[in-house]
Structure formats: structure tokens, C-alpha cells
Amino acid sequence: MKQLSIALIFILAVACSSEQTTSETTETKTTIVVNFIDDISSLENIEKGNPIVLFQEQAKDKADKVIKFSKDNISDVLETASNFSSLVIVVGDHTIVKITDIKDCKQSGSWGACMPMAKGFIKKKDLVSQEDYINNIIGRPDSQERVAYFFE
């Protein structure tokens, strides 16, 4: 009977510990998008994994609208942005930018659109801070996956 009690206590302790870890992980993951939108530099505080990939995983569920884009529909994406409070663009698993001023834009010949000002990061080994017009951060149109996440 004593061994059974000890085994039950052990199982209960492991279950509670496991639940707490899962809860903390979920809480951490649910704050990445909110924190990035509020403070772009918050992405630098993520120590485990690729912060851009973690953002994407959470943003799939948190975003009010998600659009994959290319040169063909970038104008529509930027027009849609005026209906939302925040637009975050992710290129592959290596670039993330938040539009900081949709009206401050510069015409891009390669994109064929007026590209707005943004802040974000390009991931090399570490995150490298960027602040420029988005065409200078996300690169020229090509086959890379580019996704726009819209938030109200």
C-alpha cells in the first residue's frame, strides 16, 4: 500500500509539472505576436528556436487575415493594410518586418508598387535590425514565400 501511495504521488507530481511546463510554453508562444506588434525589439529576447518561425506559428492563429503575396498582388496587400492596425510581413524563415508608416512609401520598380516604411529583422546567425522601405528589406520579387499577417 505504501508503494502504491508513493507511486501515485510521483505520478501526480510529474503530471502537475508537465502541465505547468505546457502552460508556460503556450503562454510564451501566445505572447510573441502581441509583443512584436507592441515592440519590434521584443523578438530579440527569444532565446530558443528561430523567433521568426515562432512568430509565424502563432500568427497563423492570431492574425485577422493572412495573404501570401508576390509582385502580382502586392498592391492589393498594401491597400488592404489600410483597414488594419498592423501589418507584419514574413519572408521564408529569415525576414520579418512590421509596417511602421503605410503612407511613407517609395515607388519600387521591381515590385511595381509604392513600398511603405518598416522595421524588423533579417536573421543571419543572429537577428539583424532593419529599418527601411520594405522593398529594401524583403528583397526583389522571386519564388520565396512571402506572407502578410494583418491584425486589428
Tell me the backbone φ, ψ of residue 58, rounded to 5 degrees: -75, -40
Give the pLDDT confidence score for residue 9 in this predicted structure: 45
Q: Is 28 or 121 the better-scoring residue by pLDDT?
A: 121
DSSP 8-state class, residue 36: H
- Look up cell 501511495; give the residue: 5
pLDDT in tens, 122-140: 999 899 999 999 999 999 9
% of the chain surpassing 90 pLDDT: 76
Average pLDDT, the chain: 85
Q: Is 119 or 6 the better-scoring residue by pLDDT?
A: 119
3-state helix, strand, coil in the chain (%, to 5): 45, 30, 25
pLDDT in tens, 81-107: 999 999 999 999 999 999 999 999 999
Give the pLDDT confidence score for residue 2 in this predicted structure: 54
